[in-house]
Amino acid sequence: MSETNARDTSGSRGSRRVLRFLLVVAVVAVVVILALWSSWSYMLPAHQRPSLGRIFFDDFSDGSTGNWTLTTSGGPITVDTSTGQVSAPSLNLSKQQRLGATQAFHKFREVTSGNVSAEANLKVNTTSSWKWCYFNLLNRNGSVETYFGLVDGQMQYYAAGAWHTIGASYAADTWYSIGLDVNLGAGIYDIYVNGVLKKLGAPLSGQDGHHAVNAVGLQAGTTNDLYGMTMWADDVLVSA
């Protein structure tokens, strides 16, 4: 073999070794990136995980309440073009009557297992006692599964026959981003306020013993026949 051919053969072998090395490095890099992505996404709140798909979203930009089933015997529910969390509009629920309910529900395909999340931006006009608003997921029988509310100036959840604070107060005329991350199998949910975990593992209500959800609900209300409570909701999202 000539000296030139020997050099060519040696160079070709060296190039193949370099290519194999680069291929191994690329494969290892892909594996590491996928592992980091999986770990990072798992640490996110459920409503931010890439694995969850959007079931329902309404920012009321179409000016319609057509996506919702409304009960207005306690006061009107309208699209408010004057305010929104980032920009108007938003949904306005105004409890104005002594009797009756002011609530809105949207039904979606039933989720019977795994994780499901609901989030919304909420605002109220008062922190006075005996006035409250609810944002929750419900099951097929209309019973609440999550039981979260802005009640008497405190963000709270209801369980075992009593309200429990989560260490977060709220102010009137201020927007708050609320996230409810539900583990249906474990029968619990986590509560986030403005992206910060405030309650880990609140028990689902499951008033009929059936842990599944197929509706998201909003309600403005008062106790003891008091009235004059208004809540706004924007960017309502359900994912599973």
Burial bucket for residue 91 (CB in 10 Å: 0-12, 13-18, 19+): buried
Average pLDDT estimate for 130-136:
93
Helix, strand or coil for residue 33?
A: helix
Which two structure tokens, joined as six digits, stand for 162? 């009593």
pLDDT of residue 59: 97
Residue 208 has a pLDDT of 55
pLDDT at position 151 is: 94
pLDDT band at 33 (very low <50, low <70, confident <90, very high): very low
* pLDDT computed for residue 43 by the predictor: 38
In Å, the largest CA–CA distance within the chain is 104
What fold is seen in the domain 48-239?
Answer: Jelly Rolls (2.60.120)
Peptide bond just before 89 cis, omega within 30 deg: yes
User: Tens digit of pLDDT for each residue in 58-114?
Assistant: 999 999 999 999 999 999 999 999 999 989 999 999 998 878 899 999 999 999 999
Name every residue whose Cβ is closer than 8 Å to that of residue 81 and which is 6 or more positions away in sequence: 63, 88, 89
In the chain, where the domains are located: 3-43, 48-239
- pLDDT over 50 (residue 47): no
pLDDT of residue 226: 67
**pLDDT (average), residues 163-186:** 97
CB 84 within 8 A of CB 234: yes
